[in-house]
Each structure stands twice: as structure tokens, then as C-alpha cells.
Structure 1
């Protein structure tokens, strides 16, 4: 299984730290030349591999960690995303429900990535918190996952565990997804809730 993070701002770098901490290789890409962020990637760890967008989208599981309004540009990188899993880490704060066609933001994003399976996740924490070691006081920091495909949610849940987090599945995008989505000037009820699960 291969992994990529598209977007290498604060959230992308926080995710990269989780991969480095667990010695799991991940490609990172932006729309810029990989050389422009190679030193930042190297500072996080040797597991963080800068690539072009065209190279990075060859991965099986892709974290979409760009600004919400940039997702259509990423979607153009492939004509069809069949066989790919997209983890939607975007937040559509400030985007009106009308612009989203009244849909949950993740369903709107899913339409751009034709053929992909989509999981909403890793978006409810700020970058400073997401970048910390998720092992906390004998427990593990929670990440919420929502998807209309149970098998894909399980697969991403297994990855979250490998990265040291405790995944909690919220159900489909129209139900649980709304708890971790922003749209208009409102945040979902679970956004910014920093929870720790004790097994």
C-alpha cells in the first residue's frame, strides 16, 4: 500500500510527522516544484518523499490536505480516480451551503474525484495538535472518520491506528460526516474536540 499527502502546509506537515514518527514512507506534493519544499520534508524525516503532483497521485491512499477551494485543481491530475482512496482533510469554512449544492462538503469533494472512494477524516484537529505524538497519558488521540463505504473506512481506520491514532467511525458522509464538516460560518459539533481514547 502506498501513501501520499497532497498539500504541504501546516496540516500536510502535521500528517507527515505522523508518518515519520512511525517510519512509514509517504510521498508529499503540492502544485509547486518538489525542490521548493524538499528541505522542509527532509527536516521532518527521510520517510517524507517530495514528488510532483503527477507522481504523488499514483499512490493508493491520498490525503487531500489542500485548501477546500483548491480541490478541483488536484482532481484534474487524473482523468479517473478508480482504485484510489481519498482522505478528505479539507474544511469548507466560509463556503456557503448554496455553493455546495446543499450537500455535505465531502460529498461535494467526492464528485470532483470521479471513481475514488472517499473518507472524511483527520480534519477536526488544528495542525499544532495533529502534529503531536498521539500517545497521550496511556491513551491515544482520537481521529474521526466518515465514509459511505464501510470497507474503505476500515482500511483508513487501520492506517490511522498504524499512525498511532485511535479511529472512531461516525458512519456515512450525510450523517456522521456533518459532525466533522464546516460550511458557511458553522463548524460541525466535533470539530476542534481533542479527545483521547483509553483501551
Structure 2
């Protein structure tokens, strides 16, 4: 399975680091071009490479890690998604309209900007330092909440992050689960560990 990032800041480097450690190859990208990522790629090792955004976006699973105001520009003009998985790690600051049960969640908006992508919302509830740290602790594994509308995409995401050491928890759909994990939601910024039964710690 091929992995890519749109954006190459702290969150992208942290996620890429876990994927590389788990034995995967990752293609990172940003708006400034591959040359600006030499140091990042060097830190991650030979399984990481830098490429233009269009190339990174062709991966089987792509992590969107840009600041919220740049989401539209970051997703504009990319190749057709054709069912590839787009993991939305972004956060939009809470707005009064978010309290409306019928309001479109940020990840639902991302899905409209990436037609054909199977969007999974994840990593946005964790501060970057918790994403970068080893998710395995003596007391348990770091919980990672995620949401999405495509069951197969969520199952694939669950398997990938489980193998990197996180304890993934399905929060529901982009509408209902997305509201739980967006900024201002009850699971936002919740850092907790899952205690694995004896013998099941990864």
C-alpha cells in the first residue's frame, strides 16, 4: 500500500514517521516543492521521499495535513481520486453554526472538495506531540478516534494505524462522528490510553 501526504509540517512528519517505522514507504509533499523537504526526508530515512503534491496525492492513502484555511487550495487541481482514501487531519475552529445538528461538518466539506475520495477524519483530536510520540506506553496504547462514511475505507485505516501502535476507535460517520471529534466536540483534545488485555499489546 502506498502512502502520501499533502502538507509536510509537524503532523505529516509524525504520521509519516510511524508509517516508516511500520515498514511502509511514504511520499511527502507541500506547496513549496520537493526541494524544501530534503531535511524532513533525511530525518525519516530511505523509505520516505518528497514529490510534487500531484504525485503524493496518487497514493492509496493520502493524509491531508495543511492548515484549515489552505484546504481548498491544497485540494484544487489534483488527479481524480477514484476511490482512494483521503485522511483529513485538519481542524476548523468552532463556529456558532456547528451547534446546529444539520450543519455540514468540516470533513463533509472536505469530501465535497475531493469528489471520489473516501474520506476518513482522524488525528485532529490529538496535539502534535501526542501524535509524534510512541503510541505504545506501559499503561496502554494512545486512543485514536476516527470517523467516515465508507466502511471499507475505515476498516483499512483502522488496520494501518493499529499496526503503527495506536488504539483506533470508530466514532461514527462524518456527520455524527465528525461532530464528536471536531473542535468543540466532546472528544476533541481528549488524550487517553486503552489498556490492552494481557498478551494483546502490540
Q: TM-score, normalised by structure 1?
A: 0.90
The answer to whether the 8 Å contact 1:53/1:77 transfers is no
The answer to whether the 8 Å contact 1:64/1:86 transfers is yes
What secondary structure is seen at the aligned counterpart in 2 of 1:92? coil
Looking at structure 1, the residues matched to 97 and 86 of structure 2 have their Cα atoms a distance apart, in angstroms, of 22
Q: TM-score, normalised by structure 2?
A: 0.89
Q: Mapping of 1:38-187 within 5 angstroms?
A: 38-93=38-93, 97=97, 102-182=103-183, 187=184
1:95 is displaced (CA, Å) by 5.7
1:127 is displaced (CA, Å) by 0.7
What secondary structure is seen at the aligned counterpart in 2 of 1:179? helix
1:55 is displaced (CA, Å) by 1.1
Looking at structure 1, the residues matched to 80 and 27 of structure 2 have their Cα atoms a distance apart, in angstroms, of 20
Equivalent in the alignment of 2:18: 18
- Relative to structure 1, the CA distance from residue 72 to residue 84 in structure 2 (aligned partners, 3 Å threshold; closer, same or farther) is same
What secondary structure is seen at the aligned counterpart in 2 of 1:93? coil
CA RMSD of aligned residues (A): 1.7
Looking at structure 2, the residues matched to 94 and 174 of structure 1 have their Cα atoms a distance apart, in angstroms, of 15
Equivalent in the alignment of 1:195: 192
The answer to whether the 8 Å contact 1:135/1:164 transfers is yes
The answer to whether the 8 Å contact 1:19/1:47 transfers is no
Structure 2: 5+ residue runs without aligned partners?
A: 197-202
1:155 is displaced (CA, Å) by 0.8
Looking at structure 2, the residues matched to 4 and 29 of structure 1 have their Cα atoms a distance apart, in angstroms, of 8
Q: Quick check: 67-76 or 151-160, which moved more? A: 67-76
- 1:16-48 deviation line (CA, Å, top 9, x unaligned): 221232232111100112111111221132222
The answer to whether the 8 Å contact 1:57/1:77 transfers is no
Structure 1: 5+ residue runs without aligned partners?
A: none
1:97 is displaced (CA, Å) by 3.6
- Relative to structure 1, the CA distance from residue 166 to residue 53 in structure 2 (aligned partners, 3 Å threshold; closer, same or farther) is same
1:161 is displaced (CA, Å) by 0.9
> Runs of 4 or more off by more than 3 Å in structure 1?
94-98
